[in-house]
Structure 1
Amino acid sequence: MSRSASESAVITTARRAREAAAALAPLPRTARDAALEAIADALEARSAEIVEANAQDIARARQAGTPDAIVDRLTLTEQRVSAIAADVRDVVALPDPVGEVVRGSTLPNGLELRQVRVPLGVVGIIYEARPNVTVDAASLCLKAGNAVLLRGSSSAYASNTALVAVLRDAVVAAGLPADAVQLVPGESRESVHELMGARGLVDVLIPRGGASLIKTVVEQSTVPVIETGTGNCHVYIDESADLGMAVDILVNSKAQRPSVCNAAETVLVHAGIADRFLPRALAALTEAGVKVHGDEAWQKAGSSAGVEVAPATDEDWATEYLSYDIAAAVVPGLDEAAAHIRRWTSGHTEAIVTRDTAAARRFVSLMDSTAVMVNASTRFTDGSQFGYGAEIGISTQKLHARGPMGLPELTSTTYIVTGDGHIRE
């Protein structure tokens, strides 16, 4: 593709990433790991510079009246930068996906066939607020041999600019092309739309953020998208559940860290145990600071216990709260719970608490989500918890990648066919 005199800065950046990706592809693991080690060292050495830039974003956020929870996600301290550097070193230690043989065989005609993992090429990441994603995404993409285009939110622009400057200097010092890591220029939505239209230059886009961002990218991008999903996650308490276990799993799923996508947003309880379970659940949820938005059964139980339960509406069933709120209902049985979940779920994670193995099997078979937990918290849907190391996001789609996306999901495959003068008859 030839350059146009009127070509935008975003497209020019994507072209440079394409050239960098071609240079990265043949590099051995040692070269990529050395670049990641250089990044970790540079982050620690230049942490004061990064924190100073971050202070500009924090000041703007506070001036704009940004909620404290969002400001906290935006904030970088020297300790947090050090933790980010440690995460990069963890990526270094992960197995190299590039060159892995997915499957192979010798065909009856003697041809040797191998399907081998190769880098995707140029990966674009569109994300909100959290500047740590800048480093996480870059390190994972580089480990898998990809060039990365980073488009963070304008709220973290100063932080991301400083971080990418550090990353670029580090990869150059390690002998990799600087354009292997680039910040997409511009703070306006126009730059996002240009990135979404850079088909042929960008191989895949991965949106990370709220439902609105993900919906926009999925619906408007001409570049292929790996959809990371919102987390309207459910916990179903079956009639045979151990009530103590059920309370513990429910509270952990909701309150251990409510602002993340694998936190539970709805609890459904079998009618056969509602009289015994609801008072215990309300007490535990209230102690954890959780506000319940419930149906008539939960409201009645709340009234008896002196706990305010807000009336639940369809909006509650559809909401990813990301806060200390949970929707709650009593259902006649497992099939009704499954029907409710399939109607309202975002396809992320569902959980059942039960001592009945047949009920567990049926629940799993009725779900259509990325992960299904049996007697375990929804909070376990996470790359590190699954033992995959770092993750680029959690995909709720069904093509290429589904669930926590680690290094293998940042690769494609090539078939290598080796013959000895073979010709097809």
Structure 2
Amino acid sequence: MPDVGEGLTEAEILSWYVKPGDTVTDGQVVCEVETAKAAVELPIPFDGTVHELRFPEGTTVDVGEVIISVNVGGDAPAGPAAPAAETPAAPAPSEPPVREPVLVGYGVTEGPTRRRPRRQEAAVTGVGEGEPEVGTTWSARPLAKPPVRKLAKDLGVDLASVTPTGPEGVITRDDVHRAVAPAAPATVAPAAAPVPVSVGARETRVPIKGVRKATAAAMVGSAFTAPHVTEFVTFDITRTMKLVEELKSGTDMAGLRVNPLLLIAKAVLVAVKRNPDINAAWDEAAQEIVRKHYVNLGIAAATPRGLIVPNIKDAHTQALPELSRSLSELVATAREGKTTPAAMQGGTFTITNVGVFGVDTGTPILNPGESAILAVGAIKLQPWVHKGKVKPRQVTTLALSFDHRLVDGELGSRFLADIAAILEQPKRLVTWG
């Protein structure tokens, strides 16, 4: 079991995708595990035959334990489907074992010395992010760089079905986006299926583990470490709602998801630029305030495994179309339960959209390591004084919680007022941005 996060000590095996006797190839995903941060799929680094699964599904395994053994020298007798962990019997003295690394991790297993043949490489060129992948003379694998492959996987796109437009037939990010339907709204994942309850049962006990356990510990630590202050503002968001409709029908955002959350996120980024001290962290050990000159924008999402907060890296550098794509990718990945630990690390500011539940507002708890979090309430048609007359207008309430050790009332109030002012008059996205 590898440490798939940073310093994690255990993970639960959610699903095995192979069984003893199955043939596996280098890079094939063989199981899914859940850490305290996310569900992660683990690949195998060999071509060979599965010999044994050391732990059944539902078992929590310490990092460093051997969870699977693979015979890379040919077919091997199938081991038991999923027994409890046991130490393999020692080989006969006449057959000295050769120790081979197993699945990504730390354990070793005994097997032949022959490794899979080295691939014959053929260089390819491409455009986009990172270094181009190396193709092979024996594979018809679609050509794409690693970030593009990850994007396709997160969005559920089969690269074999994508029409490439890059040089030498390389698939680009735009090719993947064109192949996928517009993402669903930035809301929360479907609720988990209810736990079966026997007739007459008065209680059901659910183990606290994985993401929910880690979230609970983080929230307790945050609530009782950082002195929270929450401020509220209620305002007329009608003009922003009209702008949403205009952007939907325009050509600049064609094919992209446009909703109020997108413009709220953009307003937050503009407000951070005007009030940079809000984007900071308290370093207790060093007794320092760490002011961050980048914004990794977290979006809280409720999933069947618990609350997670993936973030958009360097969101402050993204124009509205790119921010829309980033939000869509983040939501689609969270809905599928495929958010990686890396996607939830390094956040600097968080938005939580409680309005999708019809809730007017709340007092959110800070994400650990951040100084502020914004809760977005439901947008409702209400009577409002507009140009001296009471008229029906779209109204919402924002709630900002902040760490009063480094954010005083003036800064928190100014920052929250800026967000409301931008959303009341969205032309300020241009004049202030």
Higher share of residues assigned helix: 1
Normalising by structure 2, we get a TM-score of 0.25
Higher share of residues assigned strand: 2
Q: Which has the larger radius of gyration?
A: 2
The answer to which structure, 1 or 2, has the higher relative contact order (CA under 8 A, 6+ apart) is 1
